[in-house]
Structure 1
Amino acid sequence: MRWEFKRDFEDLEIIITEVQNPIADRKMNPNLPKTVLKTKCNFDEFVLCVVKELDRIIKQRGILGYRQEWQSSTFPVDGFLALKYACLYKKPFEITKKDSGTSLDEELNLLNKNIDEM
């Protein structure tokens, strides 16, 4: 599957296409590639849905449990925190301290904050 995201201000177009992997597929399928889904949605609502789902997964599985479930993929904690912060406070991720990195206490508070109340 190939996912394409095209943003036009507050609109987001999502196109999911089923493609063929010529290395893995010995028999070529003449019906591929084909578009499986083509839709538009509000960008902010889409991001909020992604954050809510990641929030649910991390609270259910934990960061290390996420890796156990999805084997080779580590939990994208930095991107998740940035998106969650942006959704909660409607501004860019700014919990860094000038010249000293980030605050672990603020990051942990953000991880524990319940986004479902939004």
Structure 2
Amino acid sequence: LNFAGAGWASPIFEINGTVIEMNVSYLSDFLDDLLQTFCEICELIDIDYETETFYFECYDEPGVYEWEFELKAENVLKAKMIFYEDRFLKTKEAPENETITEKAFECDLYEFLNELLAAVEIELKRSGIVGYSKNWDDSEFPFAKYLQLKLFVQSKKNNLTRDDNWFASSDLAEELKVLNKLIE
């Protein structure tokens, strides 16, 4: 994950021989949206669920990257990315002059999240909290989502608890330990 400058990121995903290079702008809150997608996936781990597909979209200018994620048995993450050169011309049957790139991969969910979170931590240490916000059009760093995923990877289970009214709670002490490790 490389944040190329204010408002731009150049994430590169290298998974099982598949390389996906992107160039995303501030038009979407790339990191927040990506982490949110994985929070939704991870909340299903401890419950019986039917296979569900999760979607995530981020923007180049004028292109768009559409991601599709599915969690399969044994924590296998199946992913597909489609890039449309111009999001305004995007259709199921693209015009001849439109470039469409499609790539797919499968990998272990925990390995993917470990690598993703390590890259996120590098960027947070590099830019800082205020710097991140200024670089991303005043978007806040997605601490809650980062913490939810970090604790999920460490414990291999969903650490968010809900009562009968769906009131959510988490362990503040554990969350602060994770944040303290970032500055050690």
When the two structures are superposed, what TM-score results if normalisation uses the length of structure 2?
Answer: 0.48
> Structure 1 102/15 Cα, relative in aligned 2: closer, same or farther at 3 Å?
closer
Q: Is the 8 A contact 1:18 1:32 kept in 2?
A: no
Kindly report structure 1 stretches of 4+ aligned residues shifted beyond 6 Å. Answer: none
- Larger Rg, first or second structure (1 or 2): 1
**Structure 1: gaps of 5 or more residues:** none
Q: Percent identity?
A: 28
Query: Which digits, 9 at most, give the CA deviation of each residue in 1:1-28, with x for residues without a partner?
Result: 11111111311111111123227xxxx7
Q: In the TM superposition, what is the alpha-carbon distance from 1:104 to its structure 2 partner?
A: 5.4
Aligned to 1:79: 145
Structure 1 stretch 7-16 or stretch 77-86: which is displaced more?
A: 7-16
- For residue 22 of structure 1, give the secondary structure of its aligned residue in structure 2: coil
Q: Is the 8 A contact 1:5 1:14 kept in 2?
A: yes
CA RMSD, Structure 1 to Structure 2 (Å): 3.0
Q: Which has the higher helix share?
A: 1
Aligned to 2:175: 107
Q: In the TM superposition, what is the alpha-carbon distance from 1:88 to its structure 2 partner?
A: 2.2
Q: Relative contact order (C-alpha < 8 Å, sep 6+): which is higher?
A: 2
Distance in 1 (CA, whole Å) between partners of 2:170 and 2:106 is 35
Distance in 2 (CA, whole Å) between partners of 1:72 and 1:30 is 38
Query: Which digits, 9 at most, give the CA deviation of each residue in 1:15-72, with x for residues without a partner?
Result: 111123227xxxx742546343111111111111111111222222222221122224
Which of 80, 87, 92 is the equivalent residue of 1:15? 80
Q: Is the 8 A contact 1:14 1:38 kept in 2?
A: yes
Distance in 1 (CA, whole Å) between partners of 2:98 and 2:104 is 16
> Structure 1 31/11 Cα, relative in aligned 2: closer, same or farther at 3 Å?
farther
Q: Does 1:58 align with 2:124?
A: yes
Count of matched residue positions in the alignment of Structure 1 and Structure 2: 107
